[in-house]
Chains A and B, each alone.
Chain A
Amino acid sequence: MQVSLSWLSTHLDLSSYTVPQLSDLLTFAGVEVEGIEERGVTTDKVVVAQIDSFVQHPNADKLSVCQVNDGSGTARQIVCGAKNFKAGDKVPLALPGAVLPGGFTIKEGKLRDVASLGMMCSGKELGLGDDHSGLLIMAADSPIGTPFNQLNPADVLFDLEITPNRPDLLSHLGLARELSALTGIPLKGQRDYTATKTKTDSSDIKLEAKDACPLYTARLIKGVKVGPSPEWLRRRLESIGLRPINSIVDITNYVMMEMGQSLHCFDLDKLNGSIVVRQATDGEKFLALDSQTYTLQTDDLVIADQKRAVAIAGVMGGEETGVTEVTTNVLLEAAWFTPSNIRRTSRRLGLSSDSSYRFERGIDPQQVQGASELATRLILEIAGGTADDVLLVAGETPVLTSEITLDDDRARKLLGTADLSSDEIRSILTKLGLTLENGRWTVPSYRADLQRPVDLIEEIARVIGLDRVPSKMTAVAVPSDATDRAYDFAMTIRQALVNRGCFEAQTLRLVAEAQLADTLGGGTGVAVKNPLSEDHTTLRPSIIPGLIATAALNIRQGADRLRFFELGRVFLKLPNGGSREEERLAILISGPVSPSSWHARTPQPADINELMGIIQNLPGLSRVSIEPKAVKESPANFLLTSELRAGNRNLGWIAQLHPSRARDISARHPVYVAELLLSALRQGSTGPAKFEELPRFPGMTRDVAMEVPADLPHAKVAAFFATQKEPLFIASEVFDVFTDPTGQKIPSDRKSIAWTLTYRSPEKTLETAEVDAAHQRILAALEKALPATVRR
């Protein structure tokens, strides 16, 4: 909200505060100052001058040469480009040496060879509004020679963020009241806007929707002459960014910004009979002041005449019944509408106004009549006419506040301020307009946000500020839980991957539908009902789509070596319509196995075995044997898709990105991906490791080389060795795999593999002969079990 310091100053004398002090004061009262703008001229070298005469500039069509009276007794010559003046007009004149807003200094000079001793100014040049269409023409009675800032003091505009719990601050009076409470500076006189007489049983207002509108008042004012507002009023509205429209509309806006009460004026002659406050009918059409037609429904509240709706209550008036230049009789509405109702309608219609903004936050019900009275007085003063001597009132003023009992000890305890005396508490709350009677606090009608003791404690905290509160530190021992352990495990995984040369990515959990084809591990994501764009429609069922997008971006930026991982949540839709959230780890690698260096400028590109190696070395998997199991149907965007199993446990999936998909992202090397379930990885790291006695006797090794069909998986051979019951045989390891696609050294459908087998006895040092015998038994079994030819 825009707040004018000069407007505020009509309510209390703030001259003892500097602008930064005021800003701090507001900030620490909970009103955030989002901007400060100084307006108007502070220099007194801008004075009121009268244009005595002017002639066309001899050398320029668009310029005039004016003789002006600046009050000094000597005529002053000014060259001017504006056209909107006549002889005798009074205008602001900036004398040489004046510094205008924006730091522009006025000097004597010549314009097209004609001397000009100053500058006559537009409103904009003086930092007043945006009007740059011509000179600012001042009131005819403005005294010549008077500094302009005496008549139009410079102003400071505060752009304030008023929190939704403080609708009472949405007006200059409300803010003045708050500043008065905080500073102790008294308000300049309490204004009494009580209407003289009210008429409560009028047949002119029919209140059909009392829940949505507990109080409705109307004042009839006849014989007004609608025209432009006087300068002071226009200036006030313009200073806070409102556009003056006509005197009646301006007055209602002024009262809203002054008191926080939104008002509306109808052209009485355009109303068909008496006012009805009712719910809209379903599908009722309404042409609003903004020239838009809105379709209403039954929970919208309207102000209607006998024929049609004439306003969406509290939100916007109708175009057909609005006040125009030809209006002579008006009905001035002042009412209190139920906030939730206004909020619902405003939100549903996407129609928000200064009025709905205030009503939906809740205005002071006690000032409805006062605001009507102030507006009436201003209308009579500015637009003339005669007001009915009674205010028509339907319904009753709602009571929104109740008495509160505050236990001062509880306040001290919650605030942690043992030294806060009850006297001080009383003084704070009293300053804020509350009154204490029989131990109970009565809250002013404009502070409906204060309902409970804790609301009063908040007020105390706000006023004393946190500087008064001591800093206390209580560390309490709380036992860690599964979330803590999961976090620590995840950090270990992250660090391990970083040490392995991988970069941690964090991609958005909302992905595009088109990205779902990059999902590894199956599952459908969870679609959002109201996505913001096509790029972010679905909660990801897999991290891989994000990593592929990451790869694509980095490839576009020229990266050759891609090593990325991400730990994060995926979202899986369940058959019953629900969803499951799961923490996963995804890895993507492509390109050289190591960074290029003087040792190897272009190291060989990654293959899927490198990715397997990364996985096998992950924390939690060091003692786990991982078996990849090809899935029956590889998703279209992948090849080699395999489930990674550890016994019965699914650890995740591994795959090569399909070359066609890799070409899509212009990958220069094959791309490999894996996605792992963090919970499954964690199962592999259960508790502290148990020590096993070190072998006391040396072992012996025997190598075996064999030729097998090229498509015999390593796992089959490993499984054979793993299941041998030979007592001395304790370990086996593959150390060579050789194929020759050309078929020269070995047929292309065969491969040569070599293993080293270890033999050891826990009881003695082995004899060569017994090892050889055991080894031969294994080789014999091997040739029987597998299509292998052992080279002897």
Chain B
Amino acid sequence: MLTQLDSLKTEALAALAAAQDETTLEAVRVNFLGKKGSVTALSQNMRDVPVDQKKEVGAKLNDVRTAITDSIESKKLALQAALDAKAVEGIDITLPGRPGTGNGALHPLTQIRDVAIRTLRRLGFILAEGPEIETEFHCFDALNTPADHPARNEKDTFYLPDGRLLRTHTSSVQIRTMEAAKSLPIRIIAPGAAYRRDEIDATHLSVFNQLEGLYVSNDVSLADLKGTLEAFFREIFGPGTAVRFRPHFFPFTEPSFEIDVKLEAKGKDARWIEIAGCGMVDPAVFEAINKARGDTLFDPETTTGFAFGLGLDRLAMILHSITDIRHLIENDVRFLQQFAA
């Protein structure tokens, strides 16, 4: 019987080795281990085995069963592995991926505006806005720009027939915000479009984009202005960027400064690039606001503030080395694609 078992084992393992699919495996299992299988049949002869051999034959029987079962299992795994391997045969992972709908891109102006906004929000500024069709009061009078100021004429400013105008700067949002404020401090930024009657060329647009900032409280100083704007421009242009403030003149701030950052262009010496205007809010602005509000929330004796404004188009051009501002309004997809994330 031991011999029989050995030969059955050999036979079964050979059959398994030759099997090429699961059906054959199953047939082999049935042939040997099934109810009528040859191993099962042989095991029924156990009762005829002499007592002193029972232990040995029993062990042998188990051994043969286990060997066949294990072999079926491992053969199954091997067959599955072969199938799985076959399933990825010929796949070329180096081919380009399926595009789906493809990705578009945010306009570079949106991107730079978002960087600026995220940076300033971290510094505790919130967003504000105002109309683009403005009154002379909000665009000029309240900003200490008298009626005979050079900017206030039909040569430089778009007017509507009803006397309103297209805001020449986002500074009008300063006025809108202070008019509506319920309390101090005010700490806002206002991105938005502004309009000037400029012929469109490589460096000018009649509609352009600015970012205004205003911080008004009771103890704002020039030191706050300096610290805040230095931090802002270093976030935009990199931590080591040199920033300088040149005295300048704006009707609605005093003192007023223009801000330059030192930037390196490829193959050229680093040079100072004018990037923004800023200053401490002129007390005359607070007086105009109080008059319009009919209260003294902005007490010119104690209230101070700083304001700044920068051109986003210009910022985008500097950051991306864009040589002609008209690219920003033409929306050639070959241009836009270059700014895909």
A-B pairs under 8 A by CB, number = 244
**Which residue in chain A gives the minimum CB-CB distance to B157?**
A530
Q: Which of B230, B244, B247 has the most CB of A within 10 A?
A: B247
Interface mask (B308-338 → A, CB under 8 Å = 1, otherwise 0): 0000000000000000000011111110110
A28 on the interface (CB 8 Å rule)?
A: yes
In contact, B161 and A503 (Cβ under 8 angstroms):
no
B137 on the interface (CB 8 Å rule)?
A: no
In contact, A594 and B102 (Cβ under 8 angstroms):
yes
Chain B contacts for A581, CB-based, 8 A: 131-133
Q: A471-B227, A595-B99 are in contact. Are A503 and B336 (CB under 8 A)?
A: yes
In contact, A472 and B148 (Cβ under 8 angstroms):
no
CA of A476 to CA of B187, assembled, Å: 8
**Which residue in chain B gives the minimum CB-CB distance to A475?**
B124
In contact, A494 and B110 (Cβ under 8 angstroms):
yes
In contact, B159 and A416 (Cβ under 8 angstroms):
no
In contact, B205 and A508 (Cβ under 8 angstroms):
yes
Q: A497-B104, A554-B333 are in contact. Are A466 and B257 (CB under 8 A)?
A: yes
B126 on the interface (CB 8 Å rule)?
A: yes
**Which residue in chain A gives the minimum CB-CB distance to B274?**
A32
In the complex, which of the residues B222, B223, B336 contacts A504, with contact meaning CB atoms closer than 8 Å?
Answer: B336
CA of A480 to CA of B223, assembled, Å: 25
Selecting from B2-10, B15-23, B248-256, B263-271, the interface stretch reads B248-256
CA of A472 to CA of B287, assembled, Å: 27
In contact, A506 and B255 (Cβ under 8 angstroms):
no
Selecting from A95-103, A288-296, A449-457, the interface stretch reads A449-457
In contact, A472 and B328 (Cβ under 8 angstroms):
no
B105 on the interface (CB 8 Å rule)?
A: yes
CA of A466 to CA of B230, assembled, Å: 12
In contact, B106 and A476 (Cβ under 8 angstroms):
no
Within 8 A of B (CB), among A430-468: 452, 454-455, 457-458, 461-462, 465-466
Chain A contacts for B56, CB-based, 8 A: none
A672 on the interface (CB 8 Å rule)?
A: no
B96 on the interface (CB 8 Å rule)?
A: yes
In contact, A472 and B221 (Cβ under 8 angstroms):
yes
Chain A contacts for B199, CB-based, 8 A: 532-533
In contact, B222 and A461 (Cβ under 8 angstroms):
yes
Within 8 A of B (CB), among A283-321: none
In the complex, which of the residues A483, A564, A577 contacts B126, with contact meaning CB atoms closer than 8 Å?
Answer: A483
In contact, B249 and A166 (Cβ under 8 angstroms):
yes
Interface mask (A493-516 → B, CB under 8 Å = 1, otherwise 0): 011011111111111111000000
Determine how close the nearest CB of chain B comes to the CB of A569; give it in whole angstroms. 6
Chain B contacts for A508, CB-based, 8 A: 205-207, 329
Chain B contacts for A32, CB-based, 8 A: 246, 248, 258
Interface mask (B283-317 → A, CB under 8 Å = 1, otherwise 0): 10000000000000000000010000000000000
B123 on the interface (CB 8 Å rule)?
A: yes
Chain B contacts for A414, CB-based, 8 A: 221-222, 280, 304
Q: How large is the interface on A (under 10, 10 to 19, 20 to 34, 35 or more residues)?
A: 35 or more
B75 on the interface (CB 8 Å rule)?
A: no
Q: A454-B283, A457-B255 are in contact. Are A503 and B337 (CB under 8 A)?
A: yes
Q: Which of A340, A498, A503 has the most CB of B within 10 A?
A: A503
B44 on the interface (CB 8 Å rule)?
A: no
Chain B contacts for A495, CB-based, 8 A: 106
Interface mask (A557-578 → B, CB under 8 Å = 1, otherwise 0): 1010011110001010000010
In the complex, which of the residues A474, A483, A505, A529 contacts B129, with contact meaning CB atoms closer than 8 Å?
Answer: A483
In contact, B128 and A483 (Cβ under 8 angstroms):
yes
B212 on the interface (CB 8 Å rule)?
A: no
Q: A416-B224, A501-B101, A599-B98 are in contact. Are A478 and B124 (CB under 8 A)?
A: yes
In contact, B128 and A506 (Cβ under 8 angstroms):
no
A598 on the interface (CB 8 Å rule)?
A: yes
**Which residue in chain B gives the minimum CB-CB distance to A339?**
B148
In contact, A472 and B124 (Cβ under 8 angstroms):
no
Chain A contacts for B104, CB-based, 8 A: 497-504, 563, 565
CA of A508 to CA of B313, assembled, Å: 13
CA of A503 to CA of B231, assembled, Å: 32
CA of A609 to CA of B33, assembled, Å: 61
Determine how close the nearest CB of chain A comes to the CB of B103; give it in whole angstroms. 6
A491 on the interface (CB 8 Å rule)?
A: yes
A660 on the interface (CB 8 Å rule)?
A: no
A528 on the interface (CB 8 Å rule)?
A: yes
In contact, B159 and A529 (Cβ under 8 angstroms):
yes
Determine how close the nearest CB of chain B comes to the CB of A563; give it in whole angstroms. 6
**Which residue in chain B gives the minimum CB-CB distance to A343?**
B148
Chain B contacts for A505, CB-based, 8 A: 107, 331, 336
A27 on the interface (CB 8 Å rule)?
A: yes
In the complex, which of the residues B133, B249, B258 contacts A526, with contact meaning CB atoms closer than 8 Å?
Answer: B133
In contact, A510 and B206 (Cβ under 8 angstroms):
yes
A6 on the interface (CB 8 Å rule)?
A: no
In contact, A498 and B249 (Cβ under 8 angstroms):
no
In contact, A528 and B160 (Cβ under 8 angstroms):
yes
Determine how close the nearest CB of chain B comes to the CB of A669; give it in whole angstroms. 15
Within 8 A of A (CB), among B105-150: 105-107, 109-110, 114, 117, 122-129, 131-133, 148, 150
CA of A565 to CA of B102, assembled, Å: 15
In contact, A478 and B187 (Cβ under 8 angstroms):
yes
**Which residue in chain A gives the minimum CB-CB distance to B162?**
A577
CA of A554 to CA of B336, assembled, Å: 11
In contact, B226 and A469 (Cβ under 8 angstroms):
yes
Determine how close the nearest CB of chain B comes to the CB of A359; give it in whole angstroms. 13
**Which residue in chain A gives the minimum CB-CB distance to B173?**
A483
In contact, B154 and A530 (Cβ under 8 angstroms):
yes
CA of A483 to CA of B282, assembled, Å: 26
B93 on the interface (CB 8 Å rule)?
A: no
CA of A483 to CA of B245, assembled, Å: 31
CA of A22 to CA of B245, assembled, Å: 17
Chain A contacts for B96, CB-based, 8 A: 597-598
Within 8 A of A (CB), among B145-199: 148, 150, 153-154, 158-162, 166, 185-188, 193, 195, 197-199
In the complex, which of the residues B126, B188, B227 contacts A473, with contact meaning CB atoms closer than 8 Å?
Answer: B227
A534 on the interface (CB 8 Å rule)?
A: no
In contact, A506 and B331 (Cβ under 8 angstroms):
yes
A694 on the interface (CB 8 Å rule)?
A: no
Determine how close the nearest CB of chain B comes to the CB of A614; give it in whole angstroms. 9
In contact, B114 and A491 (Cβ under 8 angstroms):
yes
In contact, A27 and B246 (Cβ under 8 angstroms):
yes
B100 on the interface (CB 8 Å rule)?
A: yes
Determine how close the nearest CB of chain B comes to the CB of A481; give it in whole angstroms. 6
CA of A29 to CA of B248, assembled, Å: 8
B48 on the interface (CB 8 Å rule)?
A: no
Interface mask (B51-65 → A, CB under 8 Å = 1, otherwise 0): 000000000000000
Chain B contacts for A416, CB-based, 8 A: 221-224, 226
In contact, A594 and B100 (Cβ under 8 angstroms):
yes
In the complex, which of the residues A478, A532, A559 contacts B185, with contact meaning CB atoms closer than 8 Å?
Answer: A478
CA of A494 to CA of B108, assembled, Å: 13
CA of A347 to CA of B148, assembled, Å: 9
Within 8 A of B (CB), among A11-40: 27-30, 32
Q: A414-B280, A491-B114, A569-B132 are in contact. Are A479 and B329 (CB under 8 A)?
A: no
**Which residue in chain B gives the minimum CB-CB distance to A581?**
B131
Determine how close the nearest CB of chain B comes to the CB of A100; give it in whole angstroms. 27
**Which residue in chain A gives the minimum CB-CB distance to B195?**
A510
A206 on the interface (CB 8 Å rule)?
A: no
B95 on the interface (CB 8 Å rule)?
A: yes
In contact, B230 and A471 (Cβ under 8 angstroms):
yes
In the complex, which of the residues A465, A502, A569 contacts B193, with contact meaning CB atoms closer than 8 Å?
Answer: A569
B217 on the interface (CB 8 Å rule)?
A: yes
Nearest 7 CB-CB pairs, A to B?
A416-B223, A416-B221, A30-B247, A163-B249, A501-B101, A471-B227, A458-B255
17 new A-B contacts at CB < 8 Å, known A343-B150, A413-B304, A503-B333: A454-B282, A474-B124, A476-B124, A503-B331, A504-B104, A505-B336, A506-B107, A506-B328, A527-B161, A529-B158, A550-B331, A553-B331, A563-B104, A565-B104, A595-B99, A595-B102, A597-B96
- List 6 contacting pairs A-B, 8 Å CB cutoff, sorted by A: A32-B246, A473-B227, A498-B341, A503-B337, A564-B331, A595-B99
